[in-house]
Amino acid sequence: MTDPHHRPAPDLLEHNGYQIRLSPSGLDWMAFVALPRQRPTLILAPDREAALAKAYEWIKEQDRSGKQAR
């Protein structure tokens, strides 16, 4: 029997060296995005797919701005 108050474990993905942790939060989804040993950035979206898409876009922007700084 499953506990209706039990939340599933958050999804943990990696993309371009960044860790993405996806977790449902009430009506929204949260994505915590960070390089290892760095403070994460929080992204909110209405569903899991949108949170993941926003996380990928954020990582793309970080990579783009990092290449411009070099």
Rounded mean pLDDT, 26-43: 95
pLDDT band at 37 (very low <50, low <70, confident <90, very high): very high
pTM of structure: 0.78
Chain mean pLDDT for the chain: 87
Q: Is the pLDDT of residue 49 over 80?
A: yes
pLDDT for 4 equals 53
CA separation for the pair 53, 17 (Å, rounded): 16
Rounded mean pLDDT, 31-60: 96
Q: Is the pLDDT of residue 11 over 70?
A: yes
Residue ranges of E strands in 1-70:
11-15, 18-25, 28-34, 41-45
